[in-house]
Structure 1
Amino acid sequence: MTATRHRTAPVRRPSFTGNVAWSVIGNGGYALCQWLVLVVIARLGSPAMVGDYALGLAVGAPVVLLANLSLRTVLVTDPNGAHPFRRYLLLRLAGMGLAMGVIALVVLIFHLPAAVVLLVGAAKAFDGIGDIYQGLLQRHHDQRSIAAAQLVNGGLTTTLVASLLFGTSSVAWAAAGSAGASLLTWIMCCVPLAGRFHNRPDPRAKQHTHRAAGGVAELLWTALPLGLASGVSSLTVNVPRYALEHHLGATALGVFAAAGYLVLTGNVFFSAIAQTLLPRLTELRVNGTPAGFRSLLHQALFGVAVAGGLGVWGAALFGSGFLRRLYGEQYADQGGVLTVLTLATVVGGACFVLDAGLSAARRFTGQLAVNAAVLVAAALAALLLVPRYGVLGAAWATAAAAVVHCALKWEVLRRAL
């Protein structure tokens, strides 16, 4: 009698192209909704309200990103599954609690609009907790579920912000709607979607490595350089905003933020490529195929250059008219600002790709040194350009920092390879 063999059907991995498509859909939908939030505040409120909301983002985002410790990247690039997911989650929860404490301290010291800044910070913190669940999905190449969570978050945020702002005419209530949407997405979407993978072993993971790992302290030590680098990078992006708010007030910051949100489409596309590249580049590194690693990076950089060139051309031709139709006449003369910010976004897109290469190569410390140098460059550029050229100076300061960032990251990655 012939013995019957039972075989477990292998889990079919989504294609690289399919994952890029889902990543673009998810990031694009979320970014579109974030931009719509700004449009709603601009239309139902005033440039000063936009400035207050942008200030909340400028304060909360760097603090939350620093407290994130880039644990999602560490989770995705962990070659041997050395730490269980619950360890990542515990560290992320502690980090978000610490971030909210720091944001509250900043509000007290600098006398910022407390309700708006704290609520926007809470929204970012809830997003940060959901992000670590999305990291588990990314590790298993499930970009479709990540896209679903992003679309739910974006849709809820837009709906609640618009409803509360229309009903109350208060930007603080609008910020509360954003925080509520992020909380609901974390609990009702991210947790169930990622729950399927809690007990599924990663194909790269070795057996019995969790006991050998040094616990939360070792994970913290591994993630700290990359987390500091991410926090410094977010601070760098917001330095021109701080300078604008200091020299020209919330209205100028609102105009700059409105123009800046239009280039989020580029960031969405470039971030989608980088997120999908990261697990693939990690596998190429672990498998010892440097030629494939380099080839994939070069293809991605070429794609960024082509798409970015088209974006800058479009902004130069149609930027002013687009701003007028979207936000109103008071934003129409910022076409030059939009063009410069688009150029900065293209250079930043190359940085996304280079960051994916460095993270896949586990070169975390080098990224911290580079980002610290870029922060200094951004601060100097803002100090020189914003007082003299105002909103356009802030845009050029952003572009200058992006060029320095890209050049240094390229050199670090070249040496690493």
Structure 2
Amino acid sequence: MADDTATLSRRSLRLRTRPVLIGNCGYALAQFAILVVLARILGPTEVGLYALALAVTAPVQLGLGLRLRTTLSVDHSATSFSTYTRLSTALAVLALLVGSLIGCLVRPEPAFVVVVVLVAASKAVESVLDVCYGEYQRREILAAIAFSQLLRGAVTLVLVSAAAWLWGLQAALIALAVTWTLQLLLLDYPRASAADSRSTAAGPALRARDLVRRSWPLGLAAALSSLSFAVPRLTVAGLLDADALGVFAILAYPMTVVTILANSLGQANVRSLSVAVRHHGSKELVISMLRMSVVIWGLGFLGAVGAVVCGPQVAHWLLGDAVPVSVGLLLLLVAGATAAGLATIASYAVVSTTRFGWQPVVVCASIAVTLPVMYLATKAFGLTGTALGIVVMYVLQTVFGTVAALWSLRSARSVDEGAAV
């Protein structure tokens, strides 16, 4: 373990983050391009239908998925990769069934039910892919994550665009699910299996039930985080209309991009930070949090400048005359994206302390406070009010998450000092 710690300490934040960042950003751009293609070919209503299906299925898939990728990436035991994949596959199938059932209850229309089932299927495959990425992280084969994401993004964009052009939304979603399944079976599962890291283990292997007991707080937090991401869309769908939801899904996508960047920083460094915390490196954790936060603030500043200089023109190019877009709305969305990135950094700080139980508390508290604010603001000001609610929600998550991380560090130090005495 000492050698492991030394190796991790010599690798800079930039070098660890670069491959994950390239992969995540490339994949995010491909996903955004898919939204734009669907909007240009099929119209905002179809994009709104797709966004609503994501809002219904994503919290279920993430919650039942237990964020096994994160658990695996900080796992110092001899638990095999196959144990993780068997558990992940079983949970993915369960999430597919539950998500489809919820979709039937939310909007029992045949067209929407088919969309929900297809989206749930693609998210199920993605959850198993994520476990492969977790094994790459555990072994610090971070370039493999970038290659997989870039390949998946490029192939998905081409096939989904062609299917949407020829046959419509449902065909595009079938192409999405098939593409991801083939990549899982032909590339990532074989490669991650070959990289199984039990030889570097520092503890005994865990059983599937042990992983569930360990990871359920992360799963609950992931479901709540996805719900917090879905709350604005559900609010818009309930108070406005399908066209407004489609417009919002596209305008709010920069929030996804910033969150992906923050996830890149967290995913690339969470294992090294967990090693540092295990060896009482709380100072390294705090410094790394500050460095990652500066990156997010810088991106937010650039986004604000872009919103002022050319935001409405770009929005008009993407959406046409569907809904007039103001600079104020775009600035609020940029502020919400920045706050979402900072909240993600804070969540990884909590994860690195292995005090997983704080995660659902942080997210649940922020949603509970924000729900009435977002509802009233959207009802009064439309999409601008929704964006204001997003800012409030993620600012609260950032504050609560930072406090939880620092409290966990302090508690861990107190326990260690008591044991020493």
TM-score normalised by structure 2 residue count: 0.90
Quick one: distance in 2 between partners of 1:397 and 1:379?
A: 8
- C-alpha contact (below 8 Å) 2:66/2:219 kept by paired residues: yes
The verdict on how the C-alpha distance between 1:38 and 1:129 changes in structure 2, with shifts beyond 3 A counting, is same
Quick one: distance in 2 between partners of 1:267 and 1:138?
A: 19
Correspondence for 1:77 among 55, 74, 77: 74
SS of alignment partner, residue 198 of structure 1: coil
Q: Which residue matches 2:349?
A: 357
Matches within 5 A, 1:67-106: 67-78=64-75, 80-106=76-102
Q: Which residue matches 1:229?
A: 221
Quick one: distance in 1 between partners of 2:213 and 2:396?
A: 28
- C-alpha contact (below 8 Å) 1:337/1:392 kept by paired residues: yes
Q: Which residue matches 2:60?
A: 63
The verdict on how the C-alpha distance between 1:39 and 1:331 changes in structure 2, with shifts beyond 3 A counting, is farther
Q: Which residue matches 2:141?
A: 142
- C-alpha contact (below 8 Å) 1:225/1:364 kept by paired residues: yes
Shift of 1:15: 5.4
Q: Which residue matches 1:30?
A: 27
| Cα displacement string for residues 74-99 of structure 1 (whole angstroms, at most 9, x for unaligned residues) | 11112x31522222112211111111
Quick one: distance in 2 between partners of 1:199 and 1:70?
A: 19
Shift of 1:262: 3.5
SS of alignment partner, residue 357 of structure 2: helix
Shift of 1:26: 0.3
Shift of 1:319: 1.2
Quick one: distance in 1 between partners of 2:323 and 2:20?
A: 31
- C-alpha contact (below 8 Å) 1:149/1:190 kept by paired residues: yes
The gaps in structure 2 that reach 5 residues or longer are 1-6, 410-421
Shift of 1:127: 0.7
Shift of 1:311: 2.0
Asked if 1:284 corresponds to 2:276, the answer is yes
Quick one: distance in 1 between partners of 2:285 and 2:291?
A: 10
- C-alpha contact (below 8 Å) 2:303/2:334 kept by paired residues: yes
- C-alpha contact (below 8 Å) 2:258/2:340 kept by paired residues: no
Shift of 1:134: 0.7
Matches within 5 A, 1:99-118: 99-110=95-106, 111-112=108-109, 113-118=112-117
The gaps in structure 1 that reach 5 residues or longer are 1-10
Q: Which residue matches 1:251?
A: 243
TM-score normalised by structure 1 residue count: 0.91
Q: Which residue matches 1:197?
A: 195
- C-alpha contact (below 8 Å) 2:78/2:199 kept by paired residues: no
The verdict on how the C-alpha distance between 1:316 and 1:263 changes in structure 2, with shifts beyond 3 A counting, is farther
Q: Which residue matches 1:5?
A: none
- C-alpha contact (below 8 Å) 1:53/1:175 kept by paired residues: no
Correspondence for 1:48 among 45, 50, 62: 45
For structure 1, which segment, 297-306 or 350-359, has the greater mean C-alpha deviation from structure 2 after superposition? 297-306
When the two structures are aligned, how many residues end up with a matched partner?
A: 400
Correspondence for 1:271 among 263, 266, 289: 263
SS of alignment partner, residue 83 of structure 1: coil
- C-alpha contact (below 8 Å) 1:19/1:142 kept by paired residues: no
For structure 1, which segment, 322-331 or 271-280, has the greater mean C-alpha deviation from structure 2 after superposition? 322-331
Shift of 1:332: 5.0
Quick one: distance in 2 between partners of 1:133 and 1:28?
A: 19
- C-alpha contact (below 8 Å) 1:240/1:379 kept by paired residues: no
Q: Which residue matches 2:382?
A: 390
The percent identity for this pair of structures is: 29
- C-alpha contact (below 8 Å) 2:57/2:103 kept by paired residues: no
